Amino acid sequence: DSGSNGEDEQTITAGTAPGFPPFEMKEGGELVGFDIDLLEAVVEQTEYTLSGWEEFEFDSLTPALVNDNIDVIAAGMTINDDRDETIDFSEPYYSSDQAIVVRSDGDFSPGSLSDLADHPIGAQKGTTGEEEVQSELVGDEITESQYNAYDNYVLAIQDLQNGNVDAVVIDVPVANTFAANRPVEVEFVYETGEKFGFGVREDDDALQTALSEGLSTVREDGTYEELTQKWFGE
Ligand code: GLN
């Protein structure tokens, strides 16, 4: 259907996974965050109209996109080769590494991945944080059952506070936000050099191009900087 120019084709629905502050979260029942503001500002620069937002668990976003339930993913999603086989991405709009977050009581202060040996570790299902745990820790430093996979990072951080896991592996900007609001802290950063992009269907070249062009426009006109100020204080 990507070849048609019908009016309906210009209306798009976005999908996100709240619980990833400050990119997307619920505040007083309302969906807010950097991704929400940024995608809306970007779409304004295009011929498309955003009809609204749908909420999913993070690992359901790609299936929702592929099945046409949504047209674009805005969820702090890292552009990587694995995902690139199934979907396409806009130009990158944010950079991140992975943070190792612990309780701030100071009882456990790992300085490297090997210090996590034999400790229960948490991450969110389907994320690059989970991928790091699986590839760097499971079967080596920790057993399969010492890895705890959560539907969202809010539950993972909650379980860290409860003492059910001793560390959570999560994107740095989100780790910093949790650390500012909860008794947890970033113990060290594992450099992954990730870049976030908006996800679109493989056949949706027109939307992919429009989003990338919209991103350069909002970078040039100061909107992007305003939004990073608003959400990250940068
Ligand atoms: N950036 C990470 C990823 O793409 C986490 C995204 C998220 O949890 N919303 O997997």
Q: DSSP per residue over 180-204, as a string?
A: HHSSEEEEEEEEEEEEE--EEETT-
Q: Mean pLDDT for each consecutive 10-residue tract of the chain (234 residues)?
A: 53 98 97 98 98 98 98 98 97 98 94 96 98 97 98 97 98 98 97 98 97 98 98 89
Q: Which amino acid is at 213?
A: E
φ, ψ dihedrals at 67, nearest 5°: -85, 10
Interface confidence: ipTM more than 0.90: yes
171 in ligand 1 pocket by Cβ < 6 Å? Answer: yes
Q: Whose CA is nearest to atom 7 of ligand 1?
A: 76
Atom of ligand 1 nearest to the CA of 124: 8
Top-level CATH class of 96-193? alpha beta
pLDDT of 9: 60
Closest listed residue to residue 129, CA positions, set 101, 98, 157, 154: 98
> Tokens standing for 85?
């086989």
pTM score, whole prediction: 0.95
Q: Which amino acid is at 152?
A: N
Q: Which residue among 55, 77, 98, 178 is best mutated to probe the pocket of ligand 1, counting the most ligand atoms within 8 A of its Cβ? A: 77
94 in ligand 1 pocket by Cβ < 6 Å? Answer: no
Closest listed residue to residue 168, CA positions, set 145, 141, 150: 150
pLDDT of 89: 98
76 in ligand 1 pocket by Cβ < 6 Å? Answer: yes
CATH of 7-93+197-232, one of 3.40.190.10, 3.40.50.300, 1.10.490.10, 1.25.40.10: 3.40.190.10
pLDDT of 8: 53
Start-end of CATH 3.40.190.10 domains in the chain: 7-93+197-232, 96-193
46 in ligand 1 pocket by Cβ < 6 Å? Answer: no
CB 54 within 8 A of CB 70: yes
78 in ligand 1 pocket by Cβ < 6 Å? Answer: yes
Q: How remote is the CA of residue 125 from the centroid of ligand 1, in Å?
A: 9
124 in ligand 1 pocket by Cβ < 6 Å? Answer: yes
Atom of ligand 1 nearest to the CA of 153: 8
Please tell me the distance from the alpha carbon of residue 195 to that of residue 234, in angstroms, as a whole number: 17
